[in-house]
Structure 1
Amino acid sequence: MSTTTRPYAPEPAGPVEVREGHYGTKVAAVEPGGAEVVPDDERHGSPVQLFWTWTSPNLEFATVFVGVLGLLAFGLSFWQAVAAILLGSALGGITHGVLSARGPSFGVPQMVLSRLPFGFRGNVLPAGLNALTAGIGWFAVNSVSGALALGSLTDLPNSLCLCIIVAAQLAVAFLGHNMVHAFERYAFPLLAVVFAVTTVVILAKSHPGAHGGGGGIGGFLVLLGATFGYAAGWNPYASDYTRYLPRSADRVKVGLYAGLGVFVSCSVLEIAGAASMTIGAYGSGSPTSEFTSHLPTLLAKLTLLCIAIGAVSANAINIYSGSMSFLALGVRLPLALRRAIVAVGFGAIGFVLALTSLDDAGAKYENFLLIIAYWIGPWLGVFFADQWLRRGGRLEGLLFDRTHNPLAGWLAMAVGMAVSIPLFSNQTKYVGVVPDHAPKVGDLTFEVGFVVSLAVYVAVHTWETRRSRTTSASAA
């Protein structure tokens, strides 16, 4: 990694690691370096590109299946599911936009920005979780849906389809930032048109007035948590894709395009998934073939093709950001292509996990999609509290300062998870104390985790700040 004086920020206030090599606007080239600051002379792009960058990866089957769960697993009516989908997706889109807007100012990945509240060592908690969920968990989930879609389309063995999907995903992620943006851009028109037509057909065949299965407020809250968790699952990646934008980029436009990309794509496809359940319950086939069985033959085949392409769109981002999160742990790899090499490593592990999930995709989808928000809620609580408390302060030097190790961040997140998960989790594998005694409460894990972590962080950060000032005054 480089510590040269290439321009990146005026008067840096502390240690800074600058990404070495020259990359610029090249697409068919491997992005050099790792999770360091992107220098100003390498900045390029415009905010509008974020709309398709964040729309394309959600135009795939995992998004559809979140809506399916509202009726299949939680017993909601169609309109109850729509309300939860719109609210959860809006909340996840808003948080994504706010986080994305900081990328041009700092020029670093999201999990490097996370060092501000968590410190260099404490950041191992959120960055480590994100590396696992993004680079391995999400990779496996989306690879399976893409492989099943390709298998249904071509009649090739699912294992061979998985190899094809994984190879395509790794190729995009290996090359890096510019190739990821380019792939999402060129995939967008096809994915948007086909899924728009598919949604219209599904809605036309649906029966929105059909009664639900009595999910009530509990089912509503569980789906709300699932839809927020799905949209907010992109939050820990936010500035990964805005850090190359010029420092002068309009922050409002950056946040707006990124947030809209997440909200529009998630809400439309999740609503389509919910609507498909009012046509007919899912049978014993693969989830992807069950969904497309409601469509005319040609449209069904196009939709299966787009589900496969959408899986590549999603996982190119998952692998790329998973490798960024791993490097944000502070692991020193003296390799010019360290990010690319780490991406291949994550892809290999995710491939093995996906291979073991081909035969039970539906159950594994449900279990994974419903718990993703459990750590993101507490992380967001800490991050937003810190952003408010540090507003107006000079922050760049803290990002690469290995002596910056406050207690507040990791402690607040750990407390938030320790309180929210055992008490409020409501999943097939584990039911927390509160929903076990009051099932109508549903699942409040992400809400409680967010609030508890935010409150603990404010209290501990305030105490640490006062203690530091007292120590400094005494020393003077």
Structure 2
Amino acid sequence: MEKQSTGSVNVDGSEPSPSGLESQTSDAMKPTTGGVFARLNKSITSIRFLEARGIERVPESERHNLAAADYVQMALLWFSTNITANNIAVGMLGPLDYGLSFVDSALCATFGALLGAAGAAYMGTWGPVSGNRTMVIARYFMGYYPSKICALLNIVIMLGYGMIDCLVGGQILSAVAGGSMSVVVGTIIVAIITWIVVIFGMSIFHAYERWAWLPQIIALFVLVGSAGPKFDTNIASVGDTRDIAGNRLSFFSLCLSSAVAWAPAGADYYVYYPPTTKKWITFTMSFLGIGLALVFANLLGVGLGSGTYINADWAAANDVSSGALVVQGYNGLGGFGKFLSVLISLGLIANNIPGTYSATLGFQTLGRYGLALPRWFWTCVGVIIYTACALGGRNHLYEIFENFLALMGYWVTIFLVIVLEEHMIFRWGKIAPAFDWSMWADRSKLPLGLAAFTAFVVGWVGSVLCMYQIYYVGPIAKLASPEGADLGIWVGCSWAMLVFPPLRWLELKKFGR
């Protein structure tokens, strides 16, 4: 069903698209669909520059030698992905939703984004060394079956971000049009362009992200010059000492969640890099790309949110939508400001593309039935799902942000703790067998995952007991402050961190894998 490989490929997966599974992959996992669909799939995957590969491992013989530009591409990819309006909207929540001062919001946004970026960058280092997608790599840490839970949750994250990206983009386009274009139409425009790029896969994706940051950074610098003088840097945090402390922690956790949500996809975009790729450079370039983009975007959002306290027109725009507030920041620039607003709205496509791409891979990691359908098919399914959700939730963006991001941060950080401890304690010291990345589909060669699954569940219990969301407040969270504080990430991580090492030691002693 897939195109046959004829040699090495570039790090972006271009020419030619590799095919098939490795020799160790069971026949049951190979695509088996036939008839009309098989002919359609053959026609689609024969399109030039379209990536036919799904979650199959990229053998070392099919990867390309590195040039200095390929390392720079790592940073540019992540910078383009995150220097976007949805991350501006995250920053707005500090002064608008948590009642924090400009300084408190800025500090929480900065350090939360950097800590989350470190987690995503760490997971990215596994791409070149393994040649496997992130949720396939999870099998080596979580076990074959427990890793499917992570894959399913990752699909929720990536499609959730797709919903947010389409919605914010639609809001901005509607605001630029002065209401003559509905949010629905704007949302669909963003979704369609994303779909086109993701259908083609890695080669077009890398090319798009290589340049997508440039118009965004120009538009945002103009926004800083236009709106910056109207920021209110003197607003104070609201509430007593315990309330403020709780809100600081909650907003810090939210910004961390926004950044670390990329961790379950971090390795997906590096599988065509050779295993000789230096890990520390991969980490550094990924960290800089994610961290710098998020800090800049979040701080701009904090400034816009603070300006609503002293600018009545900004407050009125914010009542319409966060996208309208961004457009209002260009007030006074006339048609040029509207043009820049359109650039910012279309910039959300750069954020939406990698998330949609990783979601399609997530569908395939769920099992042989998911793998039996090609990546382009799951792209269509994913885009339809999050577009429909965006249209249905278009009047509740802030609630989606606050609840969705925090909830996703819980499981990602627990997953990261398990990966780090397995790597640092058991693999680094060679207590466990070395990784054999070619056995990615062989359940008998992968960990059972009993320890990881137990630690994951224990961590989730801790998160639930300490979470503070609109739909549920954990009993421990209520004790933190009268208004509550979101301790879910921190307690969940710490519980998993304590439980996993002894359980993993017992698992290795009993089963040897």
Instruction: State whether structure 2 residue 257 is matched by structure 1 residue 216.
Output: no
1:181 equivalent in structure 2: 206
The 2-side partners of 1:157 and 1:346 are apart by 23
Q: State the one-letter code of the partner of 2:291.
A: F
Point out where structure 1 has 5 or more consecutive residues left out of the alignment: none
The equivalent residue for 2:378 is 342
CA separation in 1, counterparts of 2:90 and 2:503?
36
**Deviation of residue 462 (structure 1)?**
0.6
The residue identity in structure 1 corresponding to 2:123 is L
CA distance in 2, matches of 1:35, 1:238: 14
Question: 2:206 is aligned with what amino acid?
Answer: H
Q: Could you tell me which of 285, 295, 303 is aligned with 1:257?
A: 285
Question: Displacement of 1:234 after TM fit?
Answer: 0.7
TM-score (norm. length: structure 1):
0.89
Counterparts of 1:210-249 in structure 2, within 5 Å, are 210-214=235-239, 215-249=243-277
TM-score (structure 2 length as normaliser): 0.83
**1:409 maps to what in 2?**
452
On the 8 A contact 2:172/2:327 being kept in 1, the answer is no
Q: 1:28 to 1:224 in 2, by over 3 A?
A: farther
The answer to whether residue 480 in structure 2 is matched with residue 432 in structure 1 is no
The offset of 1:333, in angstroms, is 5.2
Q: 1:38 matched to which residue of 2?
A: 58
The answer to whether structure 1 residue 15 and structure 2 residue 43 are counterparts is: no
Q: CA deviation at 1:334?
A: 6.5
Shift of residue 366 of structure 1? 2.7
Residue number in structure 1 paired with 2:35: none
Deviation of 1:212 (Å): 2.1
Contact 1:147 1:158 (8 Å CA) reproduced? yes
Matched, 1:190 2:215: yes
**Aligned 8 A contact 2:166 2:188 in 1:** no
- The correspondence for 1:363, drawn from 392, 399, 406, is 399
Whether the 8 Å CA contact 1:6–1:39 is kept in 2: the answer is no
In structure 2, what is the equivalent of residue 292 of structure 1? 327
Worse-matched range after superposition: 260-269 or 366-375: 366-375
Partner of 1:161: 186
Amino acid of the residue matched to residue 277 of structure 1?
G
Matches within 5 A, 1:67-466: 67-134=91-158, 136-154=159-177, 155-214=180-239, 215-281=243-309, 282-283=315-316, 284-295=319-330, 296-298=332-334, 300-332=337-369, 338-388=374-424, 389-391=426-428, 393-395=433-435, 396-403=437-444, 404=446, 405-421=448-464, 423-439=465-481, 442-466=485-509
Question: What is the one-letter code of the residue matched to 1:170?
Answer: W
Q: CA deviation at 1:429?
A: 2.1
Which amino acid is the alignment partner of residue 402 of structure 1?
A: R
Aligned length: 458
Inter-CA distance 407–165: structure 2 relative to 1 (3 Å threshold): same
Aligned to 1:278, the other structure's residue is in SS state helix
- The aligned residue for residue 59 of structure 1 is 83
Deviations 1:408-455 (A, max 9, x none): 12221111011222x211122221112213327721211221221222
Match of 2:312 in 1: none
Contact 2:100 2:238 in 1 (8 A): yes
2:474 & 2:412 partners in 1: Cα distance? 18
Change (3 A) 1:92 1:468: same
Q: How far is 1:32 from its partner?
A: 0.8
- Percent sequence identity over matched residues? 23
* Structure 1 Cα separation of the partners of residues 232 and 5 of structure 2: 63
Post-superposition shift, 1:263? 0.5
In angstroms, what is the RMSD of aligned CA positions?
Answer: 2.7
Q: Distance in 1 between matches of 2:112 and 2:328?
A: 28
Give the superposition deviation at 1:61: 2.0
